[in-house]
Amino acid sequence: MSQAAISFRARILRKQPDLPRYIVVDPAHVVGRSKSFAARVTLNGAGPFDRNIHPWGKGSAVFFFNLTEPQCRKAGLDTGDECQVTIVPVAA
For each of the domains in the chain, give its residue range(s) and CATH number, in order of start.
6-89 (2.40.30.100)
For 25-54, the three-class secondary structure string (H helix, E strand, C coil) is ECHHHHCCCCCCEEEEEEECCEEEEEEEEE
**In which band, very low, low, confident or very high, does the pLDDT at 2 lie, cut at 50, 70 and 90?**
low
pTM of the complete model: 0.91
> pLDDT tens digits, residue range 52-88?
999 999 889 999 999 999 999 999 999 999 999 999 9
**In which band, very low, low, confident or very high, does the pLDDT at 92 lie, cut at 50, 70 and 90?**
low
